[in-house]
Each structure stands twice: as structure tokens, then as C-alpha cells.
Amino acid sequence: MKRTIVPILALAGALAAAGVSAHAQGSFYLKNGDRVVFYGDSITEQHLYTNWVEDYVVTRFPNLRVDFVNAGVGGDKVSGGWAGNIDVRLKRDLIPFKPTVVTCMLGMNDAAYRPYDQGIFDAYATGYKNILKMVKASLPDVRWTLIEPSPYDDITQPLNFPGGYNAVLLKYAAYVRKLAASTGSLDSDFNHPMTEMLIKAKAADPSLAQKIIPGRVHPSPAGHLIMAEALLNTWHAPSLVASATIDASTGKVTSEANTSISNVATSNGVLSWTETDKSLPFPLDLKDPVTKLVLSSSNFVQKLDEEPLTVTGLTAAHYALDIDGTTVGTFTPDQLSSGVNLALLSTPMLNQALAVNQLTTDHSNVHMTMWRSIEMPLAYDKSPALTNAIDSLNALDFQLQARRRQEAEPHPHKYTLTPVA
């Protein structure tokens, strides 16, 4: 059965004319109207690093219209797998979407979980070249991002054989890096940032660090944050959410970036203002211990999630920061004059980003259900009922992504800084 893709393609096409904020027009790799297909094995199929990337794009650039499709299948190699050989996979699960951008991460299964074998490696190298060749024949202008295989956890767990499996994967990663250079593709290194984070996490909490990649292959949601960071860094993603500096002694805004501040006022020592940020912070679960360990063992926040609020000229010993009537923290004047990263606080902006994340999860699940549970196993069925079911699920996917864009739209928030005992 031919894949029904009209609603998904319409998502970008019908909205490509929408304006994009100045913040989105910098060096960020994705462009208005892009369609991204994430291709890979079960680590891509997890819909975790891919969902984090979608969340970042939607929340950081709410006016940027980009469509995303996850085409990960567990067990896949460069030759394909249980869902079809590579010819079937590419012709059914990638090419029909006419993507402008494709990411590809393969290698975990290709290397066969054993010591390095030259013959196995040669088959991987040949097969990877074949993927690029086949897609180029149908989509000559597609932009590739080749992802070096994510790590097998030989850091928090003992080695299975001398040297360990991740050392084998690093040889495959070196080939991917070389192939990217020779084909004019981007290369994204998932392995080194993850292993560096694991080393720091193990030093801080050996037991908890084992939960970052449980089972040694498939990272937890927190582990996928680092892979999303690596891909977004490859795409020159800006770290800034929004930045504001206010002088309480004069009631003036001394600097602002990617935000708009108005109605600054002081009354009985209370400083208040209205702020409308043009983007949202990353939808982090700040209560999850594994997430907290990953963040403290990496530079994720510095690279992707900076939302500094700086207030100078304060005179009381402590101040409560309220946003929309809810206290999000209490700070000293020194802390506020140095800058407080609001992205790491439970703010209305974070809650809005978490709602966006839920819609990302919902749309990903709908697409996976349509493709894996209906379209793929019932490909032999030519009945109108099946076509209608697929069309309905595609339409639902379209609606969820439209709701996600609406949820990500900027809102004004009322801030107050009140002296407290």
C-alpha cells in the first residue's frame, strides 16, 4: 500500500509562508518549511532524542514551521531488518515523505555485539554508502546529518570482552565521520558526549549512573537529552531562551534579548514588570533524579537552556520572585545581580513547555500506531476502510502538531520581586 502522506506534507506546505522571528533566522540549520526524517534503529525508534529535538525546535522557534517524522525500527542495520530490507525501508519509510533533511544513526546492531570483525565492518561501510546513493537518486537535494553510533555503556558496567564493545562502535563512528566529510554531509557525534557524561555521573553516583543507559544500549529519557544536545549543537542551536536585566534602583530595563519587557514599576519596595519571552525553556523534569544527575554531569544547560534574569540595585536581604502570582524562588540580591537561570525553576514557562512535550509525545505515538500497527502489517489490504483509517490517523497527527504550535505561542507573564524576612 502506498503511504498516505498528504496531511503530513501539508503541515509544512500550508504554513511555510508564516513569518519567522529574528531569533530563528540566525545560523540555526533548520529552515522554514523543512521536513525532517529521523532514520535509524531502536534507539531512534524510542522517540526520545527525536522528541527532545522536536520540543526544542517548537518551543525555541514557535514561528518556524518544520515537520518531523520518526522512521526508526528496532534491530535495523544498514541492510534493513525485520521491517524490510533496505530497499523496502527507504522506499516505504523515508523517500515518500520527500524530506529536505534526513538524520541517520545505524551501527549498534551492525557491529554484532562482538569484537571488531573486518568483514562485518566492510559490509557496514558498503551498506551505508548504498543508503546515501539510493536516497540521492530520488532526493538529490536532501541534506544529510550522519550520526555516529551512540555508546554501548562500558563505563558504568564491566566490559563483556577485552577493550569493550564501545571501542568497536568508535571504529564505526570514525567511518561515519569520514563518510560525512566525503559526501558533504553533516556529522554528529553522539558517542563522546555521552561517554564523557557517564564518566562524570559514575564518579558522582555510581548506582544512579547505571540508570542512564539501562541495559547498556537504550538510553533513558535523561540520557537521550545528551544525544539531542549533540544533534542540536551540530545544527548550531542557540542556547538562549530569553535574557532580561533590570535596574531596580531606577526602574529601567538595561538589557533584554529574545523577550519584551514593559510596565516596570516599584511600590513599597516591590518591583514588578510584565515580560513576554519569544521562546520557552526546555521541558525538563526537574524532579527526576536521573535527569538531575545528567544535567550536573554535562554542559546541557549551558549549551541549550539559558534563561537568565538579572536584577541589580536591590537593598533588602531576600526577595521572593513571583510569576503570575506563584512564588518560584527566593533569592538574595547577590544571586539576582549575578543572574538566576529561570529555565531551572518551576515557572509557568516551564509548565507551558511541558504541555508542548506532551503533545509531541502524543503525535509521535499516533504516527507510530498508524505506521507500525496498521499500515505496515496490513499492507496487503486494499480496502477503503483501511485507507480511511490511515487517513484519519494522519489527520489526527496533523491536528496534534497544530495544537502543539499553538501551545508554544508566547504569553505575557506578570513578575514581582517582593522583599521577605
DSSP string computed for 310-353: EEE---SSEEEEEETTEEEEEE-HHHHHH-EEGGGS--HHHHHH
36 contacts 97 by C-beta, under 8 angstroms: no
Compute the distance between CA of residue 396 and CA of residue 403 in angstroms, rounded to an integer: 10
- Tell the residue number behind the cell numbers 540595585, with chain if given: 313
* 3-class state of residue 157 by DSSP: coil
Mean pLDDT of 286-294: 97
The confidence band for 9, taking pLDDT boundaries of 50, 70 and 90, is very low
| Per-residue pLDDT at 421 | 84
pLDDT of amino acid 16? 34
Q: Residue 369 — very low, low, confident or very high, per pLDDT cuts 50/70/90? A: very high
Q: Which amino acid is at 235?
A: W
Mean of the pLDDT values across residues 355-360? 98
Q: How confident is the model over 36-52, as a mean pLDDT?
A: 98
- Mean pLDDT over 285-295 rounds to 97
User: In this model, does residue 3 exceed pLDDT 70?
Assistant: no
Tell me: pLDDT of 21 over 90: no
**1-5, 187-191, 358-362: range with lowest mean pLDDT:** 1-5
Average per-residue pLDDT in the chain? Answer: 94
What does the domain layout of the chain look like in residue ranges?
Answer: 6-238
Q: Kindly report, residue by residue over 324-336, the tens digit of the pLDDT.
A: 999 999 999 999 9
Q: How many helices (H) and strands (E) does the chain have?
A: 14, 16
Please give the sequence-ordered ranges of beta strands (E in DSSP) within 48-189, or none if there are none: 67-72, 80-81, 84-85, 101-105, 143-148, 186-189
The 8-class DSSP code of residue 96 comes to: G
Q: What is the average per-residue pLDDT within 21-29?
A: 62
**Grid coordinates in use for 144?**
544529510
- Alpha-carbon torsion (274, 278, 280, 281), positive or negative: negative
d(CA 60, CA 408): 9
Residues 6+ apart with CB under 8 A from 328: 321, 322, 342, 345, 346, 347
Instruction: State how far the alpha carbon of 176 is from the alpha carbons of 115, 127, 180, 217, in Å.
Output: 19, 12, 6, 19
At the topology level of CATH, where does 6-238 sit?
A: Rossmann fold (3.40.50)
Output the pTM of the full model. 0.93
Q: What's the number of CA atoms in the CB half-sphere (13 Å) around residue 330?
A: 6
Distance from C-alpha of 306 to C-alpha of 303, rounded to nearest angstrom = 8
